[in-house]
């Protein structure tokens, strides 16, 4: 049992050391690039190396970080969640409206928002696990439905967020934003779950081979459903955090998060076929993407070139990463 | 890594059919057709205006334009791929068209369109075959690149009118049939022959069913896979040009719904997302279904967000029917 979990793919003993090195080479590479970028940018731009800006980069990485953590569980278990961006948007807009038009205490509204995210994830998980639907395509479908729901809630800026919710974004503990500290603890907790908990190891096993996991007595469906539910909650949290940042429900919020989170996993060395990859690499990728988008703004690169540049980086990253694997 | 994907296709064994699940079998084969009939019956009750000659014509033209994208998407799905970049390619093609309306340089337009197909198709195909990137990631990345390239190229202002000759093609008729519909039917015939009567068609089904066996029997797997992405890009270009002619104008959101809809149409039309199964007739039925549904929502005067919800729901239902059917066939 424990053998099938720790070695999901049939790998020759000598080969395993080699793979370990390679997998870490991807992680080393991503941190190397991030560090190089930070050093060069710090030399070139006094604004960038300002402490306030560095804190801001970290705080900006939270939205993508939250979604990527959820996406990581789903991808490691062999799936994909395309609905995260729209789930974040629906929850963000819904919470904005509920905060404005109901008398409910903000904390309750936020909890309900997270529950709504869990429900969305649960639905995705059921569709994949119980009905055998192909993850990418079926979550693309739920993404469409959620997009419609978001439009139904509002197609213009909506809701005024109370100070207590904006504080989620602005509150500081010492020099650091509280949100950054909480996020760091969340990364640590996820790292522990993936590395040491039964569920974490089961996630890797299911992604490595569902049929072997089933034979080994794992409840594959339960693991799958749980990964999508986690992803839904993470997306909801990202939506709420975005709302706290902007102070108003923005109908264009959370655009492209599904792609960015998948890309973060991919360039962080996580196999998009499931079963292999580490959280450390994905964290590095999230930081790299956050630094890049901060630099875009600092150097005032036109928004029209930002998409193109990011797209080209992604294509190169994905291509190089696989080339590394194929050797 | 590829081996794992090939040896565990999760119910893509086309030959085996379990005794049970007749309803599912029937559903997945005729789902689109029965849903078309059902929707038409509903339309007759709730929105008789749907059947006005002008509206029928609109629906047919919309079916044709979606149908052309679906032809390409079907080929990609049969080869166990899919193409998320079609929407971006459609819009970029339309941008080239409106620019040519200003310059009148049709030769340049043709070169631009051919280069667009070659660049996007080859990039997708090479990422998938040579680098082993999953098709959805490769084509999604290209979606970002092509959309980004268009925004950079037009500085965000992808707006303008189609040239007069194209407007006439987009909304004109020949022998009483709208020209886009004629083009679609001709292409449908071409795809039908290509898939069923040519070596390439047999290769494609082999590649989609089982890449490893296909390789063993001498099929040039990579070439076939690359060809599917060139075909999706080409069909997207044709559809984008026709759509700009039909609408008469171009904006930033021209092709945006076609990724989801082309996949939904093909899958509800019985094209297996696990590759190797399905055909263009069923997929075209799917295109007809979606065009009717979208139009019906408009005729009924429902808010635009219903279109998004219905599109998403159709895709979810289509995938669920197929997933259940594949499970039955697997006997698990």
Residue B132 has a pLDDT of: 83
Residue B179 has a pLDDT of: 93
Residue A140 has a pLDDT of: 93
pLDDT(B103) > 80: no
Residue B143 has a pLDDT of: 92
The CA distance from A283 to A290, in Å, is: 11
In angstroms, the separation between the Cα of residue B41 and the nearest Cα of chain A is 24
State the average pLDDT over residues B276-286. 90
Q: Does A44 touch chain B if contact means CB atoms closer than 8 Å?
A: no
Q: Which of these, A185, A197, A165, A147, lies nearest to A66 by C-alpha position?
A: A185
- Answer yes or no: CATH 1.10.20 is held by domain A51-326: no
Contacts of B322 in chain A (CB under 8 A): 133-134
Question: Which one of B81, B89, B140 makes the best mutation probe of the A interface by having the most chain A beta carbons within 10 Å?
Answer: B140
List the domain boundaries for chain A.
51-326
Residue A135 has a pLDDT of: 92
Contacts of A155 in chain B (CB under 8 A): 305
In angstroms, the separation between the Cα of residue B158 and the nearest Cα of chain A is 12
CB A70 within 8 A of CB A231: yes
Which residues numbered 226-285 in A keep a CB inside 8 Å of some CB on B?
Answer: 256, 259, 262-263, 266, 271-273
Distances (CA, A) of A249 to A11, A161, A236: 50, 8, 13
Interchain contact, B156 vs A138, CB within 8 Å: no
The CA distance from A86 to A112, in Å, is: 17
Kindly report, residue by residue over A201-227, the tens digit of the pLDDT: 999 999 988 889 988 889 999 999 999
Closest residue of chain B to A261, computed from CA coordinates = B137
Interchain contact, B308 vs A306, CB within 8 Å: no
In angstroms, the separation between the Cα of residue A266 and the nearest Cα of chain B is 9
Band of residue B291 on the pLDDT scale cut at 50, 70, 90: very high
Residue B22 has a pLDDT of: 66
Interchain contact, B316 vs A273, CB within 8 Å: no
Residue A325 has a pLDDT of: 43
Band of residue B178 on the pLDDT scale cut at 50, 70, 90: very high
Kindly report, residue by residue over A297-309, the tens digit of the pLDDT: 888 877 778 778 8
> What whole-number percentage of chain B has pLDDT above 70?
90
pLDDT(B3) > 50: no
Domains (ranges, CATH) in chain B? 22-325 (1.10.3470)
Interchain contact, B319 vs A315, CB within 8 Å: no
- Maximum alpha-carbon separation in chain B: 63
Q: Does B119 touch chain A if contact means CB atoms closer than 8 Å?
A: no
Least confident segment among A11-20, A258-267, B279-288, B297-306: A11-20
More confident residue, A170 or B182: B182
Residue B232 has a pLDDT of: 97
Average pLDDT, chain A: 86
How many Cβ atoms are within 10 Å of A149's Cβ, its own excluded?
20
Paired tokens of B164: 């007069």
The CA distance from B205 to B208, in Å, is: 5
Band of residue B122 on the pLDDT scale cut at 50, 70, 90: very high
Residue A185 has a pLDDT of: 94
Q: Which of these, B314, B259, B275, B217, lies nearest to B91 by C-alpha position?
A: B259
Kindly report, residue by residue over A235-261, the tens digit of the pLDDT: 999 999 999 998 888 888 888 899 889
Interchain contact, A142 vs B307, CB within 8 Å: no
Interchain contact, A304 vs B148, CB within 8 Å: yes
The CA distance from A19 to B186, in Å, is: 51
Contacts of A314 in chain B (CB under 8 A): 141, 144-145
Of B8, B11, B319, the CB nearest to A141: B319
Q: Does A127 touch chain B if contact means CB atoms closer than 8 Å?
A: yes
Kindly report, residue by residue over B19-51, the tens digit of the pLDDT: 446 666 666 667 788 888 888 998 888 888 889
Interchain contact, B127 vs A315, CB within 8 Å: yes
Interchain contact, A319 vs B316, CB within 8 Å: no
Question: Which one of A136, A155, A228, A276 makes the best mutation probe of the B interface by having the most chain B beta carbons within 10 Å?
Answer: A136
Average pLDDT, chain B: 86
The SS3 call for residue A115 is helix
What angle, 0 to 180 degrees and rounded to 10, lies between the N-to-C axes of helices B221-247 and B164-171? 100
- pTM for this predicted structure: 0.86
Closest residue of chain B to A127, computed from CA coordinates = B320
Q: Does A289 touch chain B if contact means CB atoms closer than 8 Å?
A: no
| Cα four-point dihedral sign B134, B140, B141, B142 | positive
* Stretches in chain A below the pLDDT threshold 70: 1-14, 16-23, 321-327
Buried b (16+ CB within 10 A) or exposed e, A10-19: eeeeeeeeee
More confident residue, B102 or B13: B102
> What whole-number percentage of chain B has pLDDT above 90?
48
pLDDT(B14) > 50: no
pLDDT(B298) > 80: yes
pLDDT(B187) > 90: yes
């Amino acid at each position: 049992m424990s053998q099938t979990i720790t070695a999901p793919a049939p790998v020759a003993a000598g080969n395993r050391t080699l793979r370990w090195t390679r997998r870490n080479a991807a992680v080393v590479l991503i941190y190397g690039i991030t560090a190089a970028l930070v050093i060069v940018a710090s030399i070139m731009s006094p604004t960038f190396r300002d402490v306030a800006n560095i804190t801001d980069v970290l705080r900006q990485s939270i939205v993508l970080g939250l979604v990527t953590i959820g996406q990581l569980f789903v991808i490691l278990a062999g799936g994909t969640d395309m609905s995260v961006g729209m789930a974040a948007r629906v929850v963000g807009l819904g919470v904005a409206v509920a905060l404005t038009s109901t008398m409910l205490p903000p904390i309750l509204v936020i909890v309900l928002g997270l529950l709504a995210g869990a429900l969305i994830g649960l639905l995705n998980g059921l569709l994949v696990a119980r009905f055998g639907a192909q993850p990418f395509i079926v979550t693309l479908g739920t993404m469409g439905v959620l997009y419609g729901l978001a439009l139904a809630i509002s197609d213009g800026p909506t809701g005024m967020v109370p100070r207590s919710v904006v504080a989620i974004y602005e509150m500081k503990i010492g020099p650091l934003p509280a949100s950054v500290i909480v996020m760091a603890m969340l990364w640590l907790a996820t790292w522990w779950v993936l590395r040491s908990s039964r569920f974490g190891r089961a996630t890797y096993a299911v992604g490595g081979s569902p049929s072997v996991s089933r034979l080994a007595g794992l409840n594959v469906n339960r693991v799958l459903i749980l990964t999508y539910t986690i992803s839904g909650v993470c997306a909801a949290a990202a939506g709420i955090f975005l709302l706290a940042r902007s102070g108003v429900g923005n109908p264009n919020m959370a655009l492209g998060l599904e792609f960015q989170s998948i890309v973060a996993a991919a360039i962080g060395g996580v196999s998009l076929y499931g079963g292999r990859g580490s959280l450390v690499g994905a964290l590095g990728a999230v930081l790299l993407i956050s630094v890049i988008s901060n630099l875009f703004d600092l150097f005032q690169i036109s928004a029209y070139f930002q998409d193109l540049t990011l797209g080209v980086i992604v294509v190169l990253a994905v291509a190089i990463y696989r080339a590394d694997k194929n050797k | 890594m590829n081996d794992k994907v090939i040896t565990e296709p999760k119910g893509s064994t086309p030959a085996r059919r379990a005794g049970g699940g007749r309803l599912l079998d029937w559903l997945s084969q005729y789902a689109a057709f029965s849903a078309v009939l059902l929707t038409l019956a509903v339309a007759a009750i709730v929105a008789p205006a749907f059947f006005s000659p002008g509206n029928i014509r609109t629906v047919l033209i919309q079916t044709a334009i979606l149908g052309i994208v679906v032809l390409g998407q079907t080929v990609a799905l049969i080869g166990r791929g899919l193409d998320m970049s079609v929407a971006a390619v459609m819009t970029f093609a339309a941008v080239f068209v409106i620019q040519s309306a200003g310059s009148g340089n049709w030769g340049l337009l043709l070169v631009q369109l051919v280069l667009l197909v070659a660049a996007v198709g080859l990039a997708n195909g090479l990422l998938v075959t040579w680098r082993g990137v999953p098709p959805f990631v490769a084509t999604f990345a290209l979606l970002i690149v092509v959309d980004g390239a268009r925004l950079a190229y037009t500085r965000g202002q992808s707006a303008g009118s189609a040239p007069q000759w194209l407007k006439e093609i987009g909304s004109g008729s020949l022998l009483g049939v709208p020209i886009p519909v004629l083009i679609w039917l001709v292409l449908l015939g071409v795809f039908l022959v290509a898939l069923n009567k040519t070596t390439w068609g047999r290769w494609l089904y082999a590649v989609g069913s089982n890449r490893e066996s296909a390789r063993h029997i001498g099929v040039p797997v990579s070439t076939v896979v690359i060809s599917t992405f060139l075909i999706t890009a080409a069909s997207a270009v044709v559809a984008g040009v026709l759509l700009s002619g039909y609408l008469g104008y171009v904006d930033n959101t021209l092709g945006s719904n076609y990724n989801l809809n082309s996949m939904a149409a093909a899958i509800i039309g019985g094209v297996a997302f696990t590759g190797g199964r399905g055909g263009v007739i069923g997929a075209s039925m799917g295109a007809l279904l979606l065009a009717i549904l979208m139009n019906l929502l408009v005729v009924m005067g429902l808010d635009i967000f219903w279109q998004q919800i219905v599109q998403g729901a159709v895709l979810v239902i289509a995938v669920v029917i197929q997933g259940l059917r594949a499970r039955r066939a697997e006997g698990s």
